[in-house]
């Protein structure tokens, strides 16, 4: 894997070089000391991965990410001092297509675990597009009446796309909302708060034992998979352990296909890889309405593309039309209810 480093501090660049040198299969393609340099380097020599700092003089990492993903798209991992303190910038960068974020390892990172965490993140990104979607075994949908559910899946580019969708839902939205976003568990509470700035509905992280209630948004919040149990309560499960996507959209879609007793609208937004495509197809096969984001408005056209290839989406829509379509579908559901 050829990796580009973007950081304005020489000591930080050296720390990253030392971490990458621990792996024979990693090579530093180039190092840029500013956002402007990073954009230019990517245009001339697009690497397999960019390690992007956030806080830099001039063009910061958020704007550099936006420009790189628009002109020379490639996987970007945010690596910066105090990710927690810069959570808003992290979500903005992810909204432009960055895949994940982690704290900067120090020169002594081998001792504090920082180096191992960074290498694990890089390995995970390397696995994201390795496996094609596999059909999920179907079960008969659960019977009985229940309120409708909006199930949203997203990855790279997802935070801003999810925020845009939630922003378009009314305060009296009649359905329950669940969001599965590929994000490290340490950032989930901050993302729930951040999404709450855009949503008229309350947003919080999902806890084990929660139920999906109308007018409330629950966000998957651990590195295990969020799943709906047969008793209609949420749980976190480790299996399938081999999946690189954690939490997995496919696992959640499969669980609601098996156990949710009401109508489901499945929406698959921007993201790298193929997670959610097979699950969206399962929902469609059971008669639920499914929507995938279109290529033009996706920051990373991976997951929606996989869904389109599987014919998993009833509709493929630009991001700015999805919320209105969801409102129409839920209004139709209410009208059809006795």
Q: Strands 234-237 and 225-228: what pairing?
A: antiparallel
Beta carbons within 8 Å of 92's beta carbon, 6+ residues apart: 62, 159, 160
DSSP string of 147-203, one letter each residue: --EEEEEE-TTHHHHHHHHHHTS-TT--SEEEEEE---GGGHHHHHHHHHTT-SS-E
Do the Cβ atoms of 227 and 258 come closer than 8 Å? no
Three-state secondary structure call for residue 58: coil
Rounded alpha-carbon distances, angstroms, from residue 174 to 166, 195, 237, 309: 13, 19, 28, 31
Contact assessment for residue 210 and residue 234, using Cβ atoms and an 8 Å cutoff: yes
Q: Cβ(83)–Cβ(102) under 8 Å?
A: yes
Q: Find the angle CA(165)-CA(213)-CA(217) to the nearest 5 degrees.
A: 30
Active site (catalytic) residues = 155, 182, 275
What's the CA gap between 261 and 249, in Å, rounded? 19
């Amino acid at each position: 894997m050829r990796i580009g480093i973007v950081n304005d501090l020489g000591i930080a660049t050296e720390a990253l070089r030392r971490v990458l040198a621990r792996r024979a299969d990693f090579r530093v393609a180039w190092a840029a000391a500013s956002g402007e340099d990073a954009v230019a380097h990517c245009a001339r020599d697009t690497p397999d991965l960019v390690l992007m700092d956030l806080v830099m003089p001039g063009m910061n990492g958020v704007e550099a990410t936006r420009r790189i993903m628009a002109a020379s798209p490639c996987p970007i991992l945010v690596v910066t001092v105090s990710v927690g303190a810069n959570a808003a910038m992290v979500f903005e960068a992810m909204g432009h297509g960055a895949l994940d974020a982690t704290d900067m390892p120090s020169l002594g990172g081998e001792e504090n675990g920082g180096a191992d965490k960074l290498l694990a993140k890089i390995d995970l990104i390397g696995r994201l597009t390795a496996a094609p979607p596999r059909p999920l075994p179907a079960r008969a949908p659960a019977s009985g009446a229940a309120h409708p559910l909006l199930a949203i899946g997203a990855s790279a580019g997802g935070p801003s796309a999810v925020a845009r969708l939630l922003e378009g839902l009314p305060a009296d939205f009649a359905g329950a909302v669940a969001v599965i976003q590929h994000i490290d568990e340490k950032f989930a509470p901050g993302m729930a708060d951040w999404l709450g700035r855009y949503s008229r509905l309350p947003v919080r992280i999902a806890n084990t034992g929660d139920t999906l209630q109308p007018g409330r948004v629950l966000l998957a919040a651990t590195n295990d998979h969020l799943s709906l149990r047969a008793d209609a309560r949420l749980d976190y499960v480790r299996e399938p352990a081999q999946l690189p996507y954690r939490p997995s959209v496919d696992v959640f879609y499969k669980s609601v296909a098996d156990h949710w007793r009401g109508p489901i609208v499945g929406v698959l937004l921007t993201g790298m890889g193929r997670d959610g495509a097979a699950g969206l197809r399962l929902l469609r096969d059971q008669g639920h309405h499914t929507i995938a984001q279109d290529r033009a408005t996706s920051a990373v056209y991976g997951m929606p593309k996989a869904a389109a290839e599987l014919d998993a989406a009833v509709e493929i829509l630009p991001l700015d039309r999805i919320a209105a379509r969801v409102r129409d579908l839920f209004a139709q559901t209410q009208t059809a209810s006795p």
